[in-house]
Every structure is written in C-alpha cells, then in structure tokens.
Structure 1
Amino acid sequence: MTHLSTSCESRSRLAGLKRMRPALPLLIILVFVWAQLAAIPCEAPTVDEQAHLTRGLVWLRTGDLRLYIGHPPLINALAALPLLPDARIRLPFEEPAWQARDWIEFPISIFWKSRNPALTMFAAGRIMIVLLGALLLAVVCRLGTDVGGPWLGLAAMGLAALDPNLRAHARLVTTDVGAALTLTLTVWLWRRWRLHPRPALTVAVGLALGLAIASKYTAALFVLPLVLAVLFAWRLNPRTLTRTAGALATAGLTTWALYGFELRPMFGLPFPVPLATYWEEFVWTSATLRFPSYLLGSVSRQGSFAYFPVALLAKTPLPLLGLAVAGLAVWLRRGWRSEVVLWLPPLAFLAVAVMARVNIGYRHLLPILPLLYLAGAWALGRLWSRASAGRWAAGGLLAWLALNTLLIYPRDLTFFNEAVGGPDNGWRVLVDSNLDWGQDLDELAAFVREREIGSIYVSYFGSVPIGSFPVAEYPIPARPLPPRPAPGWQQLFPAPGWYAISVTHLMGVASLTDPDTFAFFRHRRPEAVLGRTIYVYRVPAETGAVAVCANPPPSLGEADVRRIFGSALTRLILFDCSRGLPLPRGLAWYLLRGEQAALIRPALKRLGAQLVYDEPHRSDPAYAYSLYRLEDAAGRAARYAAARPAAATFGGLATLLGHRYTRVLAPGRPAQVETVWRIEAALPEPVSFFLHLAAPDGFPLVVSDGLNTPFDVLQPGDGLIQFHPLGEYPAERPPGAQFRTGLYALGGAQARYRLPSGEDFVSFPLP
C-alpha cells in the first residue's frame, strides 16, 4: 500500500509539472527581463556602448554610415530606436570629430559635451538589448524543443538564463547578443529547412542569415558550415544547388536592403559594387582593429591560440561546462550525422576564432553558447532519467549553477569559475571585457565622495572621458593618466597622491603604448578594490637616497634621475654593482637596468628590499629598468653578514661587520666572498677594501681589491657590501691558508689602515 501511495503521489507531481510546462518559458523570460532591467543602473557606460549607440542613432536620423566602428549597423540601429523620437538629443555635426570620422571623439561630444541626457540614452539602448536577450532565450527554447522535446527546450532555456556570461552582455549596447540571436535563429530555421526544404523556409533561412550578416562581421563564419551541412544531408544535385543558391541570394538581398541597396565604386574600382560601405568597413576593421591581449599574466600583440580555450575553461560556470562537455561527447558519438547543422557551425566558428588570434574577449564566443545550452540540457535529461541518483546529481548541478548566479549578480561581467579561484582572481587570467569594461565608475565616484578626496589621478578603461574635462554625471576631481595625455607623468616613480587605475590598464593592455605603464602599482597593495575592476592606491610622500648602478652600462644620467625622483631625492649615489652596493642611512632606492639587476638582486633580497618597479614586457631586456626600495638600509648591514667577528675598526674610518660566501668555494670554479662594512667617518682619500687568500706567511695566493662607491660619496653611518670575486678557486692551497681583509689608501705608498691593536688586517679561516 505504501509503494502504491508513493507511486500515485509521484504521478500527481508529474501531472502538475506537465500542466505548468506551457507557462514556464514565459516565467523564465519574465524573471530574466526583470533581473536584467534591475541591473542596468548598477553599471556605468562600458567601453564600446557609446560608439554603438552613436552609430545607430546617426544612421537612423541621417542614413550616414561614416563612423566605422568595426561592425555592420543593424544591432546599433535597433538599440538606438528609442532615441529616435527624443527631441532633446542634439547631434553636434559641427564638431571637427564628425568631419574626421572619429568614432571615439564624436560619441564623446554627443554624450558628454552636448548636454544630452546621457544616462537616460544608455538605459534606453540597454533595454533594447535586454529584449534581444529575451528573444534569444525564446529561440533557444524553441530549438531545444525541436531537437528533443519541450522539456529539453525548457532546460536549455533555463541554463541560458542562469549563465552569467550571457546575462552580462544581454544588457550592454554592443552587437554581441544581437549576433548570437540572429545566428541561433538562423541555425534553428536552417535545421527545419534541412528536414523540410519548402520554398517558404528557403526564404526564411535567407532572411535570418541576412540579418545575422548585417549584425556582426563574424557571422559570415557560419555560412560555409551551414551550406556544407545541407549539402551533406541532401547530396549534391541541381535541386540542392538551386535551393542553397536561393537561400544565399535571399541573405545577400536582405543585407543589401538594410544598406539601402547601395551601389557605388570603392577601392578605386571603375565600376559600382553592391554593399560598398559594408566591404570598406570590413577591410578597415581587419586592418586596424587589433589590440594587445592579456592572458595569464602575459601581454601579447600577436594574440595566442590558447586565449579562447582558456577563456571558455575559466569563465564558463563549471556545472554548465561539465554538462555541456558530457552531453556533446555522447550526442556527437550517437547522432553526429543527423544533427550536423547544430554542431558544425559553432565548432567551426570556435576553430576560426582560435586560429585568428583576435583575442578581445569571451563575448566573441556568444554564438557558440546555444550549442552548450542544448548539450547541457541533453545531459541533464539523461541524468534525470536515471532514477533517484541521477535526479539528485541533476538537481545538485542546477543548484550549483543557480548559486553561481546569485553570488555574482549584478556583477555578472566579472564572473570566473572556481577552477581559477573565482571572480576575485579573474584578473590573473583575463581582463578587458572579460572582467573590466568600465562598469564600476559609480563606485569610484562614491569612494572619492566618502573619503573627501580633493584630487585623484585616474586611468579609467571606459567610455566616460574622466580626467579630460569635468563630467557632470560623474563628479570626480580627476587628473589624467595614460592613455590620456598626462604631462609630467613619471611611471618609474609616480608623484605622491591618490591613484585610481582600471585593472585592464594595470595589467598593461587596451590602448596603452607601454604594457609596463603602471608596473609601479602592480607591486603595491591597493587601498581599495572597487567592484573588482578599479584599484585605488595612495602613494605617500617619501624622501631618501637613490643609488644608481653606473657600471656595467647602460644607466640613466644624473639629470634624468633627478627629474624622475624630484623632491624625493636627498642623495644621489652612483656605484659599481659588479663589485657590490652601498647601504645609505635611512630609506634608499636602487635603480638598476638590464643585467645590472641580476648582479645584486640576491643581496637585495637577503637585505629584505622590496621590488617596486620592473619592466617584464620590455622588448630588449638589456634596457629594462627595475627599482628596489629598502628601509633602514645601513641598519641592515650587520644582519646581512653570515659570520660576524668582534668589532674591528680600521683607522677610525671603517668597521668590518662580517663576511659571507655567495658562491661555493670549490676548486676550479669561480668563487666570491662578500665583506660587510660600516663607515665611521668621512673617508679623507681614495681607498680600496682588500680580500686576500693568504698563505701562513702572509703571501697572497689570490687578490681581490676594490670599492664599489666613490669614497667621497660615502657618509658616516653608511653601510657597504663589497664583492670580492676570486676567479677560479685554487685547487692547491698550503695548510693554514686563510682569508685576510682590510683597507688601504690608493695614493702614495698605499699604506694600510690599522686596527687599534696595530694589525692591518682581520683574518678568518676557509670554510
């Protein structure tokens, strides 16, 4: 009876779910739209949005497409539709930027110089993109229903709605979601056309493909795989060729119609060409829009084959990724022939994206995501069909994905999965539109207001021209940093004050000419991290000595050093870093270049010096600067030595604090000993610190003398580490041989300075 009762209850629940099923897609779309609309005010205008809105609005009002931004105009126009009847919006065509076709400065004039309602304009455009995102969910649901029934369609739709990457871009004014929508619509209709090749569907697939091609240039990558899919299904014959040609002709006419059936010469050709603007912008995009990319801490101007695979693995939620991979593997193994139209275009798209190495962001992979949702939904269905254990697994994966969604919302753009440490570690893997697209400017404005900061240096990766001129919507007392013109900026040693730097610029990409522009800050702990994208620092005013390695060359000249460090510099010390380093009293900075750093880096690390600037991306490492900071440099001298003798002061001028071996003293191998000193009084004449490997009778077997710093630069209280390279350590040494060290005057008879005991050296045994 109990079993019968349980069975009846299960059937009752299933019947209830079936009755609710028709309403569930609408419910998912409504919740999705509500969440997207609620998140719009939480994000400032991102990098590309104002260019897209400007292009669309100008085209709708004038039909002029002179502002090339690297994409066809269809989605731009759809986003700008709500702005068309707004009489408040003025387009400043008198601006030089319009005549110059400047797609960066002219949008700045529209949104931030012309007193237009900028934030209202962005909100209106974003609402249109939200609606396109909702349509994408509906098409995914319909495609899934055709493939595997209503429950598979509903599951695919649910996975899409829970994906933070799709949600992030389904409320920003770009072409990414629009292209994903039109391509998914094309695949859905193409699949139906493959099964039922009716004339009406021939026209429908052509219209959909034409809309996709007019949405984004990369949509053309779907054309050949789609054609191959139907040729594979129908076989090659005249009827197949006629159908395919009809669909492609309809697509071409659709795109041409959106360009007003434009027909004119281009590239100096003597005859008119259809879609001339489309082709000219495509060539311009291919030739100019290539930016440096960042991947796993490295900056590249050539791009990387690993970029998109890493992006997929790092940013796709793990439960979705696991379901999609499992579902796709089984699906392709069992039915790859019957569903070739579903998997071939997105996988071909991914392959071309990887090989092209145009590494801008995960958003360029949005057209392949519907395949992941379908495969993931199929895997969920398989799990659900395996009784209680499978249902628990399916429920757990869905709960995990939902938890990802709840924890990241509304900062969906910053999502990274647990495999790379989550959103807080995303900057270690990717930046740009994968993490930081300028969306957290409101948080910077609030931070400045709460801290009552009167002036702050800003390098902002976004479309709002912070630092160039006052922007009423974002009252930030900003002073510009690169990539905007920044007179007086010193990247090696920035001036004291507050700094706010977008993490994309911090990592050295976007429009920066030097990837190490903000290397100084990469070695500092920020005062605050705003929204995971804007790092705020406070550089205190400090003064100290600057020690510059002058040998081996090259090194900065004295005038350049004084210009860079300004009032922070109290002493300038030039030294030979092949023979050691000075340890001035108080705070000291060590400025090194190229191979110089390798000579004294071990000593600086042992002293506890902090690396505060380096140039890992310098094309020629011989010219790469590094800067170390060392507090109480002279006070650390005594602790540096491994062996410390009793106090031994020579001539009242210098005290030996100890010695250490930096290379193993092995016969036939290069050897080096370091002696550590403290200067007790101003040196009255040039001197040399000696180290001799001496026989018992004092005869020098190996000699290493020198002074790494000019004698008249050293001051009482300074420390000194002197390197004594010994060449090849002798294989044969007489019994009782030992090291002797001291100092002597270089002039005249080169008299040695003596200890109070009368000795002119201190000896210590061989190790």
Structure 2
Amino acid sequence: MLLMGIMLVLMFASSLGDAAIMDELAHIPAAYSYVFLKDARLNPEHPPLIKDIAALPLIGQDLNFPTDIKAWQYDVNGQWDQGATFLYEAGNDPARILKLMRLPMMLLAVLFGWMIWLFSRRHFGERVAFLATFLYAFSPTFITHARFVTTDLGAAVAFFIGIVAFVRFLGEPNAKNILLAGLAFGAAELLKFSLILLIPIYGVLLVAWAMVRVEISWGERAKTFLGLVLKTALIILIGLALIWLVYLWHVWNYPVERELRDAAYLLGSFQPRAVADIVPWLIQYPLLRPLGQYFLGLLMVLQRAAGGNTQYFLGEVSNLGTWNYFPILYLLKEPLALHILTLIAAAFSITRVLRAKTKSVTAALVWVRDHFIEFASIAFIAIYWTSSITSPLNIGVRHVLPTFPFIFILVAREIVAWLRSWPASDVVSWWDWLRRVYEIYIASLPRYLLAGALVLWQASSVLAAFPYYLSYYNEAGGGLMNGYQIAVDSNYDWGQDLRRLGDYVRENNTPEIGLFYFGGGSPARELGDRFRMWWPVEGQPKDGGWYAISATFQMGAFGPAVRGFVKNPQDSFDWLKAFEPVARAGTSIFIYHLPPR
C-alpha cells in the first residue's frame, strides 16, 4: 500500500540522524541477552517479545556482549550500564546496531497499518479503511515511536489483536476462535504488561454481549453469559501457556539463585507482601519459573505506577500526575486536522442519535448488538483513558497510543458516513432523479472539499516536521520549536539530537563544549575530545565558553516544584535563565555561548 510505503520512508529516513534515545539504552542489551544468552536478568519490567523481535537482525553479526563486568555479574537489573558498555565500550558499531534493531519495529508498524486497513475494510468498507489507514500513517506519534526499540508500538498492536480476536470469538465461540483469541491474549501479554487491562475489558464485553441479546429471554442470556465466561477462562489459560513457553526460553540460562536474589530486591517495597511472595514461590519450582519471571515484571510495573513519575508539565514539576496531562498532550501532539475531523464525526454521530425515531433502552441494546465492534472500541477507549487519567504515572502521550487506532477507525467511519449523508428517497420521476444528482454531486461538494482540505493539512503538517517527529507539537502547542514549554522527556527530548550536536560542533569548529545530556547516546563518542561533562548546578562557568543542555534537564530545572514535590537543589540552576541559547542541535539540545563571569 502506498500509505504504508510513505510511512516506512518517513520512519526510516528520519531515524538515521537520531542517536539512541534513553529507553533504548536499556532495551537493546536486554534484547541481545534474551535471544542469544537465554537470560532475562535485564529489563524485567517489560515483557520480552518486542525486544526479541528487535534482536533478530543481530543473528550472524559479530558482536561483543561483555558478561564479565559489574553490570552483568553483580548489579540487580544493571540494564543502563550494560547498555552503555555493549553499545559504546565493547568495540561494537552502535550506529549499525541501532539501524538493524530499529528496522523490525518499522516493519511491524507497516504490518500493523495493513491490519488496520484489512479490519476496517472488512467491517466498514474501502473508504473507511483508506481514511483510517491514512490517519494512522500520518500520525506523528506513531511515526515517532515505531522507529525506536521500545514497547510502545508493541502495546498498540497488542491491544488491537487482543480486542479484535476476542470480539471475533464472541461472534463465533468455536474451538478455532477460542484458540486464536488465546494466542492473541498470550502474545498481547508478552508485548506489554499494561495488557493486563484486557481481562477487565473482556469482562465488560462479555456482560455487554449477553445483555444485548434482546431476541432471547434473560434466562437464556444468563446461560449464554456463563458459557462464554468458561470459554474466556480457557482463552486466558491458553494465553498463560504461551507466556510460559516464551519465558521458558528467557530463564533457561538465568541462574535460579540469581533470579531469586534479583526478585527479592526488585520487589522489596511492594505491598501487599503476600502478593510479592508469590514470585519467589513460583521461581523455586523449575516448572513454574517462567511464570515467576513474568509475574515479577508485572508486579514491578504495578509498583512503579503507584509511585508516579517526575515530570515537567505546563511550567511545573511534580511526580503526582495530573488528570489533564494525557488529554492536553493528545490534543497538542496529534495534528489539529485530526481533531477537527473528530469534532465533525462526533457532531454527526450525536445528530444521528438525536434524530433517531425510537429512543429506549431496548433500542440502545439493539444498536450495541448490531454495532458491537463500534461499542467495543468505545468501551476500550473509555476504560483505557480512565485508567491513564487516574494514574499518577505521567510518562508521555505514547502511553495512550493503544487507543489511537480505534479512534482513527471510529472517526473514519463517521466521516465517510457524513460525506455520504444525502437523504434516502425513491426515484420515480425525472425531477426526483435531478434532485438526487444535486444531493450527491452538488450539495455534498462542500463536505468533500472540507474533508479533503483537512486531509491535505494533516499530511503537509506531518511532512513539514521531518525529521523531528519526536518533538512534534501542532500549531496550538507551539510547533516543533516551542513544544518543550508544554512537556518534555519522551514528548520532546529523549536524547535523539546528540548526533546533530556533533554535527553542529564540527561544522562550527567549536574547540570544546560542556554538555549536560539526557538520553541514551554517548557524548564522548559523538563529540570526541571536544566533549567535557558540565554540571550547571555548579553555577555560571568562570571562563565562559560553549555549553549545551538537553531540554528535559533545562525545563525540569526551571519549573517550580508543586503539589508537595520536593526538588533536589542539584536539579535547579536558575542562573541560566538570564541567558538565551544561540542555537539548537535539532530541536531538543540548547546551545549557549556564555560570557566570562
């Protein structure tokens, strides 16, 4: 498909200038150790499947993965140091490793686009499939996170296959669909731990499916519900079997004593302890060890979610999270054209509901029965967004990425219906025929022109952002160059511009530059002997000179601590506010030429 070809070109070409982002420093060594060493001691807080896929191109590569260093031998989850050593200190070519491991992510994104198109075409037709796939292919958030060795794309794929397979099972609960739904559930859990949400989502869909069977009695509905519950339990068991099988590989060479020690440390503060104690109990039995490692990661995620995440957002710094974090970032980091299309779709949908001749509970149940895919999509979006908004873990708009494909499909469905919303009438005369021609080809023309303009606007805004997709903010968010004032970290600055800083230093013949860097790249490797570490907390440099700082560190230092958060004095350096950067590396590294003090 042309759209997927364009998306692939944008992803690949824009990734070539990006250094390793922060999370890749952990995921890359973990991926290698999973596939080649069968040892899951690194990065257990993320399930292995997406990392396994990323590591496949490394087969046959002559790489050095040190296992005699402290990070591997003694540290608990020494992923960051192991990653730095593997990429930059072991004689490997980090640029080649990045290129090879990012490519499967991009190909998975293309495959996912094909899945969205195929699903939409099957249920809603060619026009809806094209528009939904366009919104996906020209989503700057998808283009961004499908280029990195992280779990965000995998989470979106996982929720999609998990929900689609389960809805198909509900429609035809035969042995084949039970098996497919079970495998989809297991694969989903192996892609992201947040997929545990599929279980309550399945519960909601089960209840809804039984309730909307208005053609049968309530007793028959209860019987149908109980039968589906038992089959859903079988689906989950099939999923657990797949999880066990995959994790078996990953703990094969992981010493059990080391696994027990690591688990005890990593879950040291988890409450309630009775739940945490399940993990070492599972690990001590060889047959249950794979499930023990899986549940270790799941509990680590729950533990981290409860603790929140320190973030700069709208001029403030806190670790408690705020309810408007995800809604605002969604509105500002996806194109305005998409949001206008969404408003049109919502208004048209509400109008159709208000004009419905029959308004009753039974009519609503019949609509859900006849439009269960749409209901399932809306239910998932509502559950997932509610979970995200109420969580203190504000980790970037990428966290709500799994809901995007369902939003795209729903918007596309309603927009196509709106474009073709001419009155239905019988043609019994020439006058009726002329009126029908007018309604189809003349009266609808403004709608087509508006929709076409919005599609072109979205495409042009995304193409214009090349290659800085991670820093994308729409016009309301300040655009590429000013979005850092809203939120940073994976929303704007994840360390991707380090190579561009190296280009700037060489092009401007800068003799030396101090750098305070946030990311997964190696300043020493990119800048050579021109690099020196800079700690802004020490105050304005006495002799002045060239200095650079990542936007994530700068905004975290400039923003005041709020809602009880206490900022470390070393994380603030207000003296820098008196100076303006003279340039930027890419969008996210500010470059200063400071005068002598």
Q: With structure 1 as the length reference, what TM-score do the two structures score?
A: 0.63
1:221: Cα distance to partner?
1.6
Say which of 440, 452, 462 aligns to 2:519.
462
Amino acid at match of 1:44: A
Contact 1:191–1:342, Cα closer than 8 Å, also in 2: no
Deviations 1:501-538 (CA, angstroms, capped at 9, x unpaired): 0100101179x944853432233211102222010011
Deviations 1:435-492 (CA, angstroms, capped at 9, x unpaired): 11111112111111122222211011111242xxx32x5436222134xxx8xx5136
Alignment of 1:363-762 (within 5 A): 363-386=398-421, 387-466=444-523, 470-471=524-525, 473-475=526-528, 477-482=530-535, 490-491=538-539, 496-508=544-556, 513-514=568-569, 516-542=571-597
- Alignment correspondent of 1:711: none
Say which of 91, 94, 97 aligns to 1:115.
91
Q: Distance in 2 between matches of 1:519 and 1:58?
A: 42
Q: Is the deviation greater in 127-136 or in 34-43?
A: 34-43
Change (3 A) 1:476 1:211: farther
Q: Structure 2 unaligned runs (5+)? A: 211-220, 264-275, 354-366, 422-443, 560-566
Say which of 239, 252, 255 aligns to 1:251.
239
- Alignment correspondent of 1:85: 60
Q: Please tell me the root mean square deviation across aligned C-alpha atoms, in Å.
A: 2.5
- Alignment correspondent of 2:28: 53
1:343: Cα distance to partner?
1.7
Amino acid at match of 1:186: G
- Alignment correspondent of 1:98: 72
Say which of 315, 335, 341 aligns to 1:317.
335
Q: 2:271 aligned with 1:296, yes or no?
A: no
- Alignment correspondent of 1:287: 303
Q: Distance in 1 between matches of 2:550 and 2:281?
A: 48
Change (3 A) 1:474 1:286: farther
Contact 1:129–1:171, Cα closer than 8 Å, also in 2: yes
Say which of 126, 130, 141 aligns to 1:154.
130
- Alignment correspondent of 1:32: 7
Change (3 A) 1:249 1:331: farther
Contact 1:323–1:375, Cα closer than 8 Å, also in 2: no
What secondary structure does 1:294 align onto?
A: strand
Contact 2:319–2:392, Cα closer than 8 Å, also in 1: no
Amino acid at match of 1:353: S
Contact 2:11–2:106, Cα closer than 8 Å, also in 1: yes
Contact 1:506–1:522, Cα closer than 8 Å, also in 2: no
Deviations 1:583-625 (CA, angstroms, capped at 9, x unpaired): xxxxxxxxxxxxxxxxxxxxxxxxxxxxxxxxxxxxxxxxxxx
1:122: Cα distance to partner?
0.5
- Alignment correspondent of 2:40: 65
Contact 2:189–2:243, Cα closer than 8 Å, also in 1: yes
- Alignment correspondent of 1:763: none
Contact 2:27–2:43, Cα closer than 8 Å, also in 1: no
Deviations 1:47-85 (CA, angstroms, capped at 9, x unpaired): 111311211110111111111352111101110111132
Q: Distance in 2 between matches of 1:418 and 1:166?
A: 18
Deviations 1:217-256 (CA, angstroms, capped at 9, x unpaired): 1121232112321332134433112221121211222222
Contact 2:583–2:591, Cα closer than 8 Å, also in 1: yes
Q: Structure 1 unaligned runs (5+)? A: 1-25, 543-767
Deviations 1:370-390 (CA, angstroms, capped at 9, x unpaired): 122112212331343252111
Deviations 1:300-341 (CA, angstroms, capped at 9, x unpaired): 021212211111111111111222344356558755563322
- Alignment correspondent of 2:362: none
- Alignment correspondent of 1:195: 171
Contact 2:501–2:586, Cα closer than 8 Å, also in 1: no
- Alignment correspondent of 1:708: none
Identity of aligned residues (%): 28
What secondary structure does 2:388 align onto?
A: helix
Q: Distance in 1 between matches of 2:333 and 2:458?
A: 13
Q: Distance in 1 between matches of 2:241 and 2:342?
A: 36
Deviations 1:741-765 (CA, angstroms, capped at 9, x unpaired): xxxxxxxxxxxxxxxxxxxxxxxxx
Q: Distance in 2 between matches of 1:279 and 1:49?
A: 23
Change (3 A) 1:286 1:272: closer
Which stretches of structure 1, 4 residues or more, deviate above 6 A after TM superposition? 261-266
Q: Distance in 2 between matches of 1:495 and 1:286?
A: 48
1:44: Cα distance to partner?
1.4
Contact 2:136–2:408, Cα closer than 8 Å, also in 1: yes
Q: Distance in 2 between matches of 1:397 and 1:515?
A: 47
What secondary structure does 1:47 align onto?
A: coil
Q: Distance in 2 between matches of 1:476 and 1:186?
A: 50
Deviations 1:357-377 (CA, angstroms, capped at 9, x unpaired): 211111111100012211221
What secondary structure does 1:302 align onto?
A: coil
Q: Distance in 2 between matches of 1:368 and 1:121?
A: 31
Amino acid at match of 1:358: L
Contact 2:468–2:480, Cα closer than 8 Å, also in 1: no
Amino acid at match of 2:6: V
Q: Distance in 2 between matches of 1:523 and 1:379?
A: 51
Amino acid at match of 2:481: D
Amino acid at match of 2:42: L
Greater fraction strand:
1
Amino acid at match of 1:126: R
Change (3 A) 1:158 1:285: same
Amino acid at match of 1:248: I
Q: Distance in 1 between matches of 2:342 and 2:21?
A: 30
Amino acid at match of 1:422: G
Alignment of 1:135-214 (within 5 A): 135-214=111-190
- Alignment correspondent of 1:606: none
The answer to which structure, 1 or 2, has the higher relative contact order (CA under 8 A, 6+ apart) is 2
1:283: Cα distance to partner?
2.7
Amino acid at match of 2:13: A
Q: Distance in 2 between matches of 1:300 and 1:404?
A: 32
- Alignment correspondent of 2:282: 272
Amino acid at match of 2:243: T
Contact 2:193–2:297, Cα closer than 8 Å, also in 1: no
1:431: Cα distance to partner?
0.5
Contact 1:448–1:476, Cα closer than 8 Å, also in 2: no
Q: 2:237 aligned with 1:219, yes or no?
A: no
- Alignment correspondent of 1:75: 50
Contact 2:348–2:418, Cα closer than 8 Å, also in 1: no
Q: Distance in 1 between matches of 2:175 and 2:18?
A: 46
Q: How many residues align?
A: 507
The structure whose Rg is larger is 1
Q: Distance in 1 between matches of 2:31 and 2:375?
A: 36
1:423: Cα distance to partner?
2.0
Amino acid at match of 1:393: L
Change (3 A) 1:336 1:432: farther
Amino acid at match of 2:98: F
Q: With structure 2 as the length reference, what TM-score do the two structures score?
A: 0.80
What secondary structure does 1:260 align onto?
A: helix
